[in-house]
Amino acid sequence: MKLSRRQTVLTNDNNNCNLKLAAWPCSFGYKRRKARQTSAIQPKYQVPTASYSSATAQRSKASPRLIHWLAVKDSWKSRALNVLILLFLNMAINAFPTVQNCASIGREKHTMVADMDGTLLISRSSFPYFALVAFEVGGVLRLFFLLLASPLAGLLYYFVSESAGIQVLIFATYVGMKVSDIESVARAVLPKFYSSDLHPESWRVFSSCGKRCVLTANPRIMVEPFLKDFLGADMVLGTEIGIYRGRATGFVCQPGVLVGKNKADALQKAFGEALPDVGLGDRHTDIPFIALCKEGYIVPPKPEAKAVRSEKLPKPVIFHDGRLVQKPTPLMALLIIIWIPIGFLLACLRITAGSLLPMPLVYYAFWALGVRVTVKGTPPPPVKKSTGQSGILFICSHRTLLDPIFLSTALGRPIPVVTYSVSRLSEIISPIKTVSLSRDRATDASMIKKLLQEGDLAICPEGTTCREPFLLRFSALFAELTDQHVPVAMVNRMSMFHGTTARGWKGMDPFYFFMNPSPAYEVTFLNKLPMELTCSSGKSSHEIANYIQRVIAATLSYECTSFTRKDKYRALAGNDGTVVEKPKFSANKVMGC
């Protein structure tokens, strides 16, 4: 049997991994010579036929001479073998077809195993997701520590081992953190960023299979909520972090980071002899586990690929938390660290101007300080008290706690607002009057009627904010209290920080909003509801609330939902959003919802 020049298969079943290498010139520094008879050499290891990819099984045969050479355990051969394997593995990727050649029809009974970074996700780097955990749990100092450690992680990753580089990122991110905080960020923050980076071709194949497994070097605690809740994964095999008394130690548990051989071992341990049908990876260290699958495919790097749209996911991301708007790449993380002290001083200046200046001047002060307020539609004039009419009730969509502030800025006069909860710090710095709701229907109705007798009033019937283009269910109480309804569509734009939170301290919400380099608000006044669309004309309060929700949604190109405040807080914070009543504050000016 002649040693093929362009077909070679490396097999090392002792390590439970099959490395299929094909389509490269076989050159080891010596001249070609006639191969010995295979009967003279009895290979120690055999190639299991079940491990062959359907695309390469017929064009690859084992080289018994090479297998026998690899089986020798002399130290110098082991060192040479490591170098050769690295070279072979990089070339072995060409032996597998790309994911574009993988059929996605008729795989309802198939089992799929896929890597994450660079495979299910477009991005091949996991640094941004570690940075999100670092910032959301440990703040800017932990993010700075991770950024300082990232060059060392990169050097180890590319010049020592992939495992060593990932271990540095894990240590710099997790050491000392509460496990409950890590789980909270993984559930409430990371899904939004993961879903916006989902590879279209990989998702096409992954979603077509009946049973789905993800095999990743990332910590399982960090990726499992997204993969199971939003992508429908049945099993997640990832690196396990060390835990001591409820806190992460920064180290990893045995067998270490799931890279290369460890991935293949974890796969065989989880599946036993019933190996998966399809394997999907993107780099040479994924080949050991791909080779165990009946079919193997490679996802080539394609940074320009467009991510899967949210509505195509089994469960779109409607609620998410966290302060950062953009994915913190190393450069963006550096900009955030540099900007935070500057932005905080700028936020203090903007808040001071909005709190101390008369409301007619706030619009111009905001404009001078880089805050853009756009007013659309025709703002209604204030109701004269001498006429005896009740005030106008402004029905606002809810984006941040600053909605009533910017409504007042657009009108040029302060508009009181009813709200459910607000932090004490926000009460102190607020330029408008607010009254807290008690969540008792009769008490709240009486209070709102009294406020309307005094003048105009603003209300956000959603009860909480939503960042995505959705409107939550409108409470119908407001429709029963007056016939003077003016819908207001509110939209904001933030480039660096979110001005809302469900998990953190709400007292920092206005600061984070104004820390953006150039935050913007758009206030659109819609037509006042005609008398035939009021309770006085026989319409029910629910009909009016649903109508206003649809009108605002159509104006903003948003989607109406039936989600409530409880749904949001259960998804993000693990509670129903109930706020413990606190002692009344003596000041007559408080921050709106």
- Phi, psi at 446, each rounded to 5°: -65, -40
At residue 447, the 3 state secondary structure works out as helix
Q: Which two tokens stand for residue 467?
A: 């960042």
pLDDT in the model for residue 336: 98
pLDDT in the model for residue 423: 79
Quote the number of domains for the chain.
Answer: 3
Specify if 439 maps to a domain. yes
Torsion, Cα of 54, 59, 64, 68 (10° steps): -60
Specify if 494 maps to a domain. yes
Pick the residue with more confidence: 257 or 388?
A: 257
Whether 159 and 55 map to the same domain: the answer is: no
Pick the residue with more confidence: 485 or 430?
A: 485
Sequence length of the chain is: 593
Whether 81 and 128 map to the same domain: the answer is: no
Average pLDDT of span 319-341 = 97
pLDDT in the model for residue 427: 77
Q: What is the CATH number of the domain that holds 167?
A: 3.40.50.1000
Whether 227 and 303 map to the same domain: the answer is: yes
Kindly report the CA angle at 77 between 155 and 49, in degrees rounded to 5?
Answer: 90
User: Is the Cβ–Cβ distance between 424 and 507 less than 8 Å?
Assistant: yes
- As a whole number of angstroms, the distance between CA 125 and CA 128 comes to 7
pLDDT in the model for residue 37: 38
Give the H or E element holding residue 331: helix 330-356
Average pLDDT of span 252-281 = 93
Is the pLDDT at 311 greater than 50, yes or no?
Answer: yes
- As a whole number of angstroms, the distance between CA 145 and CA 177 comes to 14
Whether 401 and 447 map to the same domain: the answer is: yes
Could you tell me if residue 139 is left (phi over 0), alpha (psi between -120 and 50 degrees) or otherwise beta?
left
Specify if 414 maps to a domain. yes
Whether 159 and 74 map to the same domain: the answer is: no
Is the pLDDT at 1 greater than 90, yes or no?
Answer: no
Is the pLDDT at 587 greater than 50, yes or no?
Answer: no
Confidence of residue 581 (pLDDT cuts 50, 70, 90): low
Whether 405 and 525 map to the same domain: the answer is: yes
Is the pLDDT at 509 greater than 90, yes or no?
Answer: yes
User: Is the Cβ–Cβ distance between 489 and 337 less than 8 Å?
Assistant: no
Q: Could you give the percent of the chain with pLDDT greater than 70?
A: 81
- As a whole number of angstroms, the distance between CA 132 and CA 31 comes to 54
Confidence of residue 229 (pLDDT cuts 50, 70, 90): very high
Q: Which of 96-100, 109-113, 172-176, 230-234 has the weakest average pLDDT?
A: 96-100
Q: Which two tokens stand for residue 192?
A: 């939004």
Local structure of residue 324 (DSSP, 8 states): B
Whether 346 and 274 map to the same domain: the answer is: no
Name the nearest CA neighbour of 416 among 388, 373, 448, 385: 448
Specify if 578 maps to a domain. no
Average pLDDT of span 115-124 = 95
Q: Which of 84-88, 194-198, 220-224 has the weakest average pLDDT?
A: 84-88
- Within 8 A by CB and 6+ apart from 33, the residues are none
Average pLDDT of span 226-248 = 96
pLDDT in the model for residue 580: 58
Specify if 1 maps to a domain. no
- As a whole number of angstroms, the distance between CA 378 and CA 390 comes to 20
User: Is the Cβ–Cβ distance between 321 and 502 less than 8 Å?
Assistant: yes
Q: pLDDT for 380-404, tens place per residue?
A: 988 877 666 788 999 999 999 999 9
Average pLDDT of span 512-537 = 94
Domain boundary among 259, 285, 312: 312
- Angstrom CA distances, 309 to 25, 188, 203, 317, stand at 43, 19, 11, 11
Specify if 101 maps to a domain. no
Could you tell me if residue 8 is left (phi over 0), alpha (psi between -120 and 50 degrees) or otherwise beta?
beta
Is the pLDDT at 57 greater than 90, yes or no?
Answer: no
Whether 241 and 284 map to the same domain: the answer is: yes
Average pLDDT of span 93-102 = 84
Confidence of residue 154 (pLDDT cuts 50, 70, 90): very high
pLDDT in the model for residue 424: 80
Tell me the range of 93-102, 312-321, 510-519 where mean pLDDT is highest. 510-519
- Phi, psi at 195, each rounded to 5°: -65, -25
Specify if 582 maps to a domain. no
pLDDT in the model for residue 537: 87
User: Quick one: CA dihedral 134, 135, 137, 140, positive or negative?
Assistant: positive
At residue 269, the 3 state secondary structure works out as helix
Range of the domain at 424: 330-572
Is the pLDDT at 70 greater than 60, yes or no?
Answer: no
pLDDT, the chain, mean: 84
- Phi, psi at 302, each rounded to 5°: -150, 75
- Angstrom CA distances, 555 to 483, 496, 519, 541, 564, stand at 22, 26, 21, 21, 21
Whether 411 and 506 map to the same domain: the answer is: yes
- Angstrom CA distances, 524 to 366, 396, 557, stand at 18, 10, 13
Q: Could you give the percent of the chain with pLDDT greater than 90?
A: 66
Domain boundary among 95, 121, 150: 95
Whether 563 and 478 map to the same domain: the answer is: yes
Domain boundary among 279, 312, 345: 312
Whether 282 and 205 map to the same domain: the answer is: yes
- Phi, psi at 365, each rounded to 5°: -65, -45
Q: Which two tokens stand for residue 67?
A: 């297998």
Is the pLDDT at 64 greater than 80, yes or no?
Answer: no
- Angstrom CA distances, 80 to 92, 159, 437, stand at 18, 17, 74
- Angstrom CA distances, 376 to 24, 283, 373, 525, stand at 65, 52, 10, 6
- As a whole number of angstroms, the distance between CA 258 and CA 270 comes to 13
Is the pLDDT at 25 greater than 90, yes or no?
Answer: no
Name the nearest CA neighbour of 522 among 557, 476, 472, 572: 557
Q: pLDDT for 163-183, tens place per residue?
A: 999 999 999 999 999 999 999
Specify if 591 maps to a domain. no
One-character DSSP codes across 391-418? PPEEEE--SSTTHHHHHHHHHTS---EE
User: Is the Cβ–Cβ distance between 263 and 288 less than 8 Å?
Assistant: yes
Whether 516 and 377 map to the same domain: the answer is: yes
Could you tell me if residue 135 is left (phi over 0), alpha (psi between -120 and 50 degrees) or otherwise beta?
alpha
